[in-house]
A and B are shown apart, each in its own frame.
Chain A
């Protein structure tokens, strides 16, 4: 059996591939075989029936089994491809599955194969439904664009900058004797230049939507710069505006969280797989907001957060619903749940209603609560969730007969349900005695 010397692909818990920095997904094909028809073949494996993802940097192959184990997902770096053969159309190809061929040269420094292996011709057999011609076009485009070289340049240049920054001292004179601050006009000029280039960059971006996608990375960097500026700017002020500082820092954090996704899954690149991939991406995204919200979050909130993160290529509410309902098929630790009142939420599978009811019971038996009940905000603080979610929990506790409600001009409150315990003649029941004058 031939060994697998391809670099492996790390997968998230929901089966989505972990992308390299700046790597963007461009095309999806399902039901794909990757094999090498050359003889002899010592290192390229025969990969049957998987999901092929074309990105700006690699070709990813992920097995389509329900449980994806990260050991068998493999990748072919585009940098190791030396040639792509043009797609020949013949009579035979009309009836058979479309095939694409390319030549891979093994290069140990990229992690492809071991030294001494020969370069081979790899065939991609597309057995599933998918637009092979569009795939080939994008394949060429990405291979020509050589996006991996830019990131290599960036990493090497940033490491240079780090080295230089490390050696410079604080103070107005830099290590080579020149004055760093060149006066207000110098600063203004620098600012002006920066804004002009930003402006030009924006103009270029919007002229061509394809170009916009590549500029998206720059936009993210701009957001990062703005955040740094804000943080450093506020630090130099006096401490009188402490609350505002914290407020704007929080804001920036929120903004960054929402610009966190560089690679939105779009209908074009995934075709019929759209909802599946969206579902997996959503499962990954939801983790952080879900933990922050205490394990239960309103579906509407996720809709807003997720679309803000995507920026463009927004998803419709329908798409969101479909994506959530697909979670049952995958092994993800979250579920969509609908309350009796119609409110839909996302919660952890480990979430236990019984636990929540116990907590509520404890809260509602406290002396204050026995006398004047609890409001949804009281419950929200105890349970650590949003007030709207706490109200849902209180309502379910009510329908189970644990609580009963009190509606008055003071508002909507809940008390422990004593109705079943009340007997007209029973004067000795303790909680009732609280209500005796």
Chain B
């Protein structure tokens, strides 16, 4: 099985037509679906949060069969993810895409679970600790993207589950849970 880093690629990754945006509607729909699943899978396991349309992305090229996705194709697949709510454009020019293999709501739930697991229901913890602290080692929160984390925090703040307060620098921002 071919691999991309540690990621096991599916066998149809070597099927050349997979890399050409299909014009026929039914075929294209199936192709888009396969790519969506593949992108989400890859990003989840490799902890990739952002895909830049104009940058090299290893998943979009297959050196063995010498094929890579055109700009049009990448845009089409990312657009499909966005309409499904599994990705968001970070800029107006649609150049950077935030991949949400977990939706924001799901991240929020994970945060709450994290708080419960670590006895932080009424406690205080910094952003830095959530992202890189010892408790978050091995969990999905490890290395979480700032933007996504902020969105999740905002969501929970609105629900009154926690309060965010600023410190002297951005990494010093703290959270007080009130679960």
Question: A405 touches which one: B10, B17, B64 (CB < 8 A)?
Answer: B17
- Contact residues in B for A405 (Cβ distance below 8 Å): 17, 20, 22-23
With an 8 Å Cβ cutoff, the count of chain B residues facing the other chain is 24
> Do B15 and A432 touch across chains, with their CB atoms under 8 A apart?
yes
B66 at the interface (CB under 8 A from A): yes
> Do A424 and B23 touch across chains, with their CB atoms under 8 A apart?
no
Q: Which of A353-375 contact B (CB under 8 A)?
A: 372-373
Expressed in whole angstroms, the Cα–Cα distance for A408 and B19 within the complex equals 9
Shortest Cβ distance from residue A411 to the other chain B in the assembled complex, whole angstroms: 11
> Do A417 and B27 touch across chains, with their CB atoms under 8 A apart?
yes
Question: B34 touches which one: A372, A407, A424 (CB < 8 A)?
Answer: A424
Shortest Cβ distance from residue B68 to the other chain A in the assembled complex, whole angstroms: 9
> Do B20 and A422 touch across chains, with their CB atoms under 8 A apart?
no
> Do B66 and A408 touch across chains, with their CB atoms under 8 A apart?
yes
Shortest Cβ distance from residue A404 to the other chain B in the assembled complex, whole angstroms: 4
Do A415 and B30 form a contact, CB below 8 Å, given A398-B24, A399-B24, A427-B11?
Answer: no
Shortest Cβ distance from residue A157 to the other chain B in the assembled complex, whole angstroms: 66
Q: Which of A84-131 contact B (CB under 8 A)?
A: none
> Do A419 and B1 touch across chains, with their CB atoms under 8 A apart?
no
Closest to A372 in B: B16
Among A373, A417, A420, A435, find the residue whose CB has the most chain B CB atoms closer than 10 A: A435
B57 at the interface (CB under 8 A from A): no
Expressed in whole angstroms, the Cα–Cα distance for A432 and B10 within the complex equals 10
Expressed in whole angstroms, the Cα–Cα distance for A401 and B24 within the complex equals 7
> Do A419 and B34 touch across chains, with their CB atoms under 8 A apart?
yes
Interface string of A133-177 (1 = CB under 8 A from B): 000000000000000000000000000000000000000000000
> Do A435 and B20 touch across chains, with their CB atoms under 8 A apart?
no
Question: B22 touches which one: A404, A424, A435 (CB < 8 A)?
Answer: A404
> Do B14 and A415 touch across chains, with their CB atoms under 8 A apart?
no
Number of cross-chain contacts by CB at 8 Å: 72
A209 at the interface (CB under 8 A from B): no
Question: A408 touches which one: B2, B11, B20, B37 (CB < 8 A)?
Answer: B20
Q: Which of B1-59 contact A (CB under 8 A)?
A: 1-2, 10-17, 19-20, 22-24, 26-27, 30-31, 34, 37
Shortest Cβ distance from residue A268 to the other chain B in the assembled complex, whole angstroms: 49
Expressed in whole angstroms, the Cα–Cα distance for A281 and B10 within the complex equals 60
Expressed in whole angstroms, the Cα–Cα distance for A14 and B14 within the complex equals 54
> Do A435 and B12 touch across chains, with their CB atoms under 8 A apart?
yes
Among A418, A419, A424, find the residue whose CB has the most chain B CB atoms closer than 10 A: A419
Expressed in whole angstroms, the Cα–Cα distance for A408 and B68 within the complex equals 9
- Contact residues in B for A398 (Cβ distance below 8 Å): 23-24, 27
Interface residue ranges, A against B (CB under 8 Å)? 372-373, 398-399, 401, 404-408, 413, 415, 417-420, 422, 424, 427, 432-433, 435-437
A-B contact pairs, 14 of them (CB 8 A): A373-B17, A398-B24, A398-B27, A401-B24, A408-B67, A415-B16, A419-B30, A420-B30, A424-B10, A424-B37, A433-B11, A435-B15, A437-B2, A437-B14
